[in-house]
A and B are shown apart, each in its own frame.
Chain A
Amino acid sequence: MEICVCVKRVPMVGGSIAVTADGLDVDVTMSGFTVSPHEECAVEEAVQITGRLGGSVTVLTLGPPEAAGQLRDMLALGASRGVLLQTDGAEWGPVGTAAAIADAVRDGGYELLLFGNEAADTGGYQVPVRVAHLLGLPCVTGIKRLEFGAEGGDEGGDGPPRILAGREYRGTEEVFEVALPAVVSVKEGINLPRYPSLPGRLRAKRAVIETIEPSFEPDGLRKERLRVPAGSSKRAQVLGSGPDAVPALVGLLDELGILS
């Protein structure tokens, strides 16, 4: 099973998030970088699948030269090949990103293209779907359970291998059955990603990252400014300390109509 997992380099944010003075980007002077959490799970899923069924995992990203660092992080988890669609650091929209990814993977012989459901930063919810359309492949999104037929294919059948993909929807599970090759986007919770091993880190450090320079395509959605929502830096009214605050807390619950 040849699998390609697409990941995105995003700032690692903790307790707060700030915007640069020009209002166009997240201020990253105090933060490191990571990949979107859903994508870390996508890589883990791919490594588990190839562990069971054989094959190998390629990780691909579109981003600045520094995004090679995130590819190495993923190689350390068990992916074997890293491909960087290198940009000058400008933000690409979903249409251009999908076109560049589709071009890069079209002749790769992949049976499964895995993505995270949405990027942590831009939250566009569409690159996997657009890639699937460009490649003429079926697509399922938001997946939290992925199962393969026995030995990765139909038992004794001649048809293409099929997968069962499940996701949560309003208190039930929706299940999709899809023939490979296919595009699948996953959500955190599908698995618990492993920590990189020391040999994995050493291998990743030495790995050669393949670089492609796609040409930029502008999107119809133009960012003008980023801002922190109003009211996100209020200060809580302190009801008291320890168990002594319980009467005040009960009074508040009563006032809010919670106890009626």
Chain B
Amino acid sequence: MTVLCLLETDAGGGAADASMRALAVAGALAASAGEDLAAAWFGPVDAVDRGPLAAAGVARGWAIWPDELSGYAPLAWARALAGLASAGSSGSAAGPPGDGGPVSAVVAAATDHGNEVLAHLGAISGLPMAANCVSAARTGPGECRLVRQRWAGSLLEDAVLETPLALLTVATDAVGDPDAVGDPAAGIGVERYEAELADGDLLVRAAESQQRRSGVSLASARVVVGGGRGVGGPDGFAALEELAGLLGAAVGVSRVVTSEGWRPHRQQVGQTGTKITPELYLACGISGAIQHMAGCQGAKTIVAINTDAGAPIVAKADYAVIGDLHEVIPALVAALRERQA
């Protein structure tokens, strides 16, 4: 049997970071049952570097075409994966998708695309889909045990998934990159898979706007400076922007800041905003509600600046400065400028 992992590709060539983490969970699921690991992507055969895939234990790659699928079309992508997943099973003309035989699971990163495509795949196939998993292992034919996030990761659910084809997405803020289990120099076979689409599968297709936001992206920033109610109002963010500039950081905010209209919603860190995974999150004047912490639990180190030593954030951060951000941040900015001089 084979575990098949969907890879989203980066414009720069290669699999997206989130997809590599999904591959880590897919690889562990395959290893738990002695199954093969295969990867599939939409685009040309050479759209993904083979070295990192081989290192992650991928035995075979599938580049899905026709070319019109390289633009995002959720239902068509799901139809193609459904075809690939059923290839090699009885009654199918196509060969098995991996040397290990038919597909037992399809795994994707829990991105907007991954969740959407696997939801369509679940609907097409009439099977359950488990979103935001952090681990999965096979416990028997048609049965997996898995751990998945609830409340965007504020709670974990231990669950059993009973289905002939397991459909999982992986919460990529909560898992690491794949272990090097294979030899990156070992070649992997990549084949083209021609998808058979049904009428209407391409009715919903994404057109990407050309407008790309400038500045450091919140989702991929190495450092994030966060501001909450304690910032006091829209004007209070100038100091945070200045600090962010010095640290090469993106500015993030809590939900109350966007619902008050102080900053745009795209800067919101949290369960209903952006999930961040920086090396450092400097949370200033943020109380640390569940909703917010769900968005920053992937930060390696959290430093809180808060007037209230009893605030929930102080119990959840790694380090804290107890004090008024309006005094601490200017002093920090001055110290950093002095250091630079």
* A residues apposed to B, CB below 8 Å: 13-17, 19, 26, 37-38, 93-95, 98, 118, 120-126, 129-130, 132-134, 138-142, 144, 166-179, 187-189, 192, 219-229, 232-243, 245-247, 249-250, 252-253, 256-259
Contact = CB atoms under 8 A, between A and B. Distances in A.
Given A241-B323, A257-B279, A229 B153 contact: yes
Given A125-B115, A172-B208, A257-B279, A224 B328 contact: no
Contact of A129 (B123, B316, B318): B123
Nearest to B271: A120
Given A17-B151, A142-B116, A246-B331, A222 B129 contact: no
Contacts, number: 264
B154 interface: yes
B318 A236 contact: yes
A124 to B, nearest CB: 6
Contact of B323 (A93, A178, A245): A245
Contact of A227 (B156, B162, B316): B156
B119 A130 contact: yes
Interface stretch (B83-91, B98-106, B226-234, B259-267): B259-267
B320 interface: yes
Given A220-B128, A224-B160, A26 B155 contact: yes
16 contacts: A13-B290, A15-B312, A126-B118, A170-B219, A174-B72, A176-B204, A220-B162, A225-B157, A226-B155, A226-B156, A229-B153, A234-B318, A235-B315, A241-B321, A253-B247, A258-B223
A228 B154 CA distance: 7
A241 B308 CA distance: 11
B211 A174 contact: no
A94 B129 contact: yes
B324 interface: yes
B54 interface: no
Q: Classify the secondary structure of A's interface with B.
A: mixed
B317 interface: yes
Contacts of B223: 258
Given A15-B312, A169-B112, A226-B155, A242 B280 contact: no
Interface in B188-206: 200, 203-206
Contacts of B180: none
Given A93-B128, A256-B301, A125 B119 contact: yes
Contact of A237 (B72, B118, B222, B320): B320
Contacts of B259: 192
B280 A234 contact: no
Interface centre among B163, B272, B273 (most CB of A within 10 A): B272
B204 A175 contact: no
Contacts of B208: 169, 172-175
Given A126-B129, A246-B335, A250-B336, A15 B289 contact: yes
Interface residues of B, number: 96
A152 B324 CA distance: 51
Contacts of A95: 122, 128
Interface in B274-312: 279-280, 287-291, 293, 297, 301-304, 309, 312
Interface centre among B116, B297, B331, B332 (most CB of A within 10 A): B116
B159 A223 contact: yes
A37 B156 contact: no
Given A94-B129, A232-B297, 8 more contacts: A26-B151, A123-B132, A140-B204, A169-B206, A174-B207, A237-B320, A245-B321, A246-B332
B120 to A, nearest CB: 6
Contact of A234 (B110, B115, B219, B316): B316
Given A242-B328, A259-B339, A171 B212 contact: yes
B53 to A, nearest CB: 21
A25 to B, nearest CB: 10
B94 interface: no
Contacts of A121: 150-151
A13 B159 contact: no
B217 interface: yes
A226 B161 CA distance: 15
Nearest to A245: B321
Contacts of A133: 120, 123-124
A241 B306 CA distance: 9
Contacts of B123: 98, 126, 129-130, 132-134
Contacts of A222: 159-162
A96 B151 CA distance: 20
A253 B335 CA distance: 12
B169 interface: yes
B268 A171 contact: no
Nearest to A255: B301
B121 to A, nearest CB: 9
Nearest to A233: B315
Contacts of A124: 129, 131
Contacts of B258: 189
